[in-house]
Amino acid sequence: MPPLKINHVAIVVEDVNAALSFWRDALGLPLHHLEHNESEAVDIAFLPVGEGEIELIAPFTEDSGVAKYLAKKGAGLHHICLEVENIEEAIARITAGGGEMINAEARTRSDGTRYAFVHPKSTGGVLLELYEVKP
């Protein structure tokens, strides 16, 4: 089953509140909510636009994956997230086609959303996240 839609585009920033001065205040996107995500060690601002969202993500530890990414590549586009109906089927399809997953099994967010990342080696250089959203 192909992806349903783009769920969000994530932008890594050094500080979520500083980044909101552009995305919310200057550009005018509404801030849906802020999240302090302990498992990924990031603070996230969710800004709806159209059917999807812009997510601003900032690490709050120096040893998280996002912190390492920020130190290596700097602020900017971090990943694109595609929404899928069944994440296990999507992972199986990707791996059967020779794709490499960062997460072999889906993780679950506090809201029940299941997610997994596809390695950029498989996508032409873009980190891709898969989301299975619970209704």
Instruction: Give the domain range for residue 82.
Output: 5-132
What is the per-residue pLDDT across 69-123, written as a single tens digit (0 to 9) for each?
999 999 999 999 999 999 999 999 999 999 999 988 999 988 899 999 999 999 9
**Cα separation values, 84 from 8, 92, 114, Å:** 12, 13, 10
- If one counts the domains in the chain, the total is 1
Alpha helices in 21-84 (DSSP H): 65-73
Q: 118-125: long-range contacts (C-beta < 8 A, 24 or more apart)?
A: 118/94, 122/94, 122/98, 123/99
pTM for this model (two decimals): 0.90
CATH number, domain with residue 68 = 3.10.180.10
Instruction: Record the tokens describing residue 49, joined without a space.
Output: 């636009």
